[in-house]
Structure 1
Amino acid sequence: MASVIKTDFPRPSVDQLAAFKTANTALIYQAAGQRGALHSTLKPLRPGFRLLGAAFTAAGFPGDNLTGHAAITLAQPGDILVYSVDGFTQGASFGDMMATLAANRGLGGILIDGAIRDAALLRTWDLPLFARGISLKSRGEKAQLGPLAAPLTVAGVQISPGDLIVGDDDGVIAIAYARLDDTIARLRQLQEEKTRLLHRFSSTATQEDWQALKAWE
């Protein structure tokens, strides 16, 4: 019996996404209880790229990008394609052709635990792209279809479809869908506290201030 791929899983609401829109990943990591940070080698292809959206997960095989193509077709507009090839960087699993498909589908961004190609071109596009590396090698085979829209471990973090993905120049964090509201409440507290501290530090530099800074970081 063929497996059923469920693509209508719960996703963060517009209001939930808005709560993370201007927050950097470092502060979100604090708000999330210092959980969910993906491996630090996953970085944006271009400074300033930002990921914010629901995870659409896909687990492919090194050298075979069939799973990636299928995921792009099935994902909803605004989704972040979370595409794992187990950190394989000696061959690209994504390039300008797949990026064109993803952009036309309205995806919110691409996160690849692996390598990409066509880097110079993709840096000029508006599609946010995060990867572990860059490689000119690519067999582009389409023989093996891996799991789609299923929980998987990506760069050391368990990610399920619908979990929130946030990425910026500091890195990438995944927040479980069930923990979004708690994380938002804590994030708002931290944002208010940080604003107060920055205002305080901009006008004074006492020993008490340094102690407050030490406690914060």
Structure 2
Amino acid sequence: MNASVESIAIPAGARELSTAEVSDALDALRLPGSVLGIGHVAGRARVFGPAFTVRYAPVDVAQPGTVGDYLDDTPEGSVVVLDNGGRVDCTVWGGILSQLAAHRGIAGTVIHGVCRDTAEAEQVAYPLYACGRFMRTGKDRVQVEAVGETVSLGDVRVSAGDFIVGDEDGVVVVPRARVTEVFERALALRGAEQRIVAATLAGASLTEARRQAAYHTLQRAAY
């Protein structure tokens, strides 16, 4: 079942974390989650929220389905995660969806595939992340196979309610059961980095500043 943002406890300050900080925290906790090959395409370069998952499959010629009206069931604050198997020959997201999603307060969309009508996403500042952009419709080429089930963003699994963070550097996925732990580690890393910068600008050596901030310990994987 897809989760609403209200059902997940988020540590104070987590919304300002970068994908790099979250990725380092995932590494330190020996968790996957850094998505390869999907980047910011249009709209605001920031997305943050629980995943609302949709998986596509090639169209069934005997019983063709649709590209989906799942947006009617997507909670405000969620991130729509679309798994189109990485296909780049047809899109599963366009201008109507961008405008409606922005109007309904949906946090953004991440696609293992391509999108189109990016100018309309720009007009409403709706965050779009994808493998790229291509204008050809997915109608009669793909159809919704499942909503609310586990999907893939390349080699990263995404379950409904997992947390999605995106910025200019890309997208990371935080398992729902580890959200607090991951974000708290990322916040600790951010604090250490801020102390290192302050110390070095005040004249300390980088080696000493890192030692004082226990930076390598925070970054090191927990075995």
TM-score between the two structures when normalised by the length of structure 1:
0.83
Matching of residue 22 in structure 1 with residue 22 in structure 2: no
AA paired with 1:38? V
The answer to whether residue 57 in structure 2 is matched with residue 58 in structure 1 is no
How far is the alpha carbon of 1:190 from its aligned partner? 1.0
The answer for the alignment partner of 2:89 in structure 1 is: 90
Gaps of 5+ in 1: 1-5
User: Shift of the alpha carbon at 1:14?
Assistant: 6.8
Aligned equivalent of 1:43: 39
| Rounded Cα–Cα distance in structure 2 between residues aligned with 1:120 and 1:143 | 23
Q: How is 1:73-152 mapped onto 2 (pairs within 5 angstroms)?
A: 73-141=72-140, 144-152=143-151
Which TM-score applies when normalising by structure 2?
0.81
1:197 positional shift: 0.4
| Unmatched runs of 5 consecutive residues or more in structure 2 | none
Q: Percent identity?
A: 23
CA deviation map 1:16-65 (0-9, x unaligned): 065321110001111123620111x2111248511100100000136899
In 2, the alpha carbon distance for the partners of 1:75 and 1:26 equals 28
Contact 1:45 1:123 (C-alpha < 8 Å) held by counterparts: no
CA distance in 2, matches of 1:20, 1:152: 24
Root mean square deviation of aligned Cα: 2.9
Conserved 8 A contact 1:45-1:119: yes
Matched, 1:33 2:27: yes
Quickly say closer, same or farther: Cα 1:205–1:93, change in 2 above 3 A.
Answer: same
- What does the per-residue CA deviation read over 1:76-134, in whole Å, with 9 as the maximum and x for residues that have no partner? 01110000101111222211012122223321111111111112332232211111111
Distance of aligned partners of 1:112 and 1:169 in 2 relative to their CA distance in 1, 3 Å threshold: same
Cα 1:61/1:116, change in 2 over 3 Å: same
- C-alpha contact 1:51 1:128 (8 A) present in aligned 2: yes
Aligned residue type for 1:119:
T
- Structure-2 change in CA distance of 1:126 and 1:198 (3 Å): same
Conserved? CA contact 1:87–1:114, under 8 Å: yes
Using the TM superposition, name which of 18-27 and 46-55 deviates more: 46-55
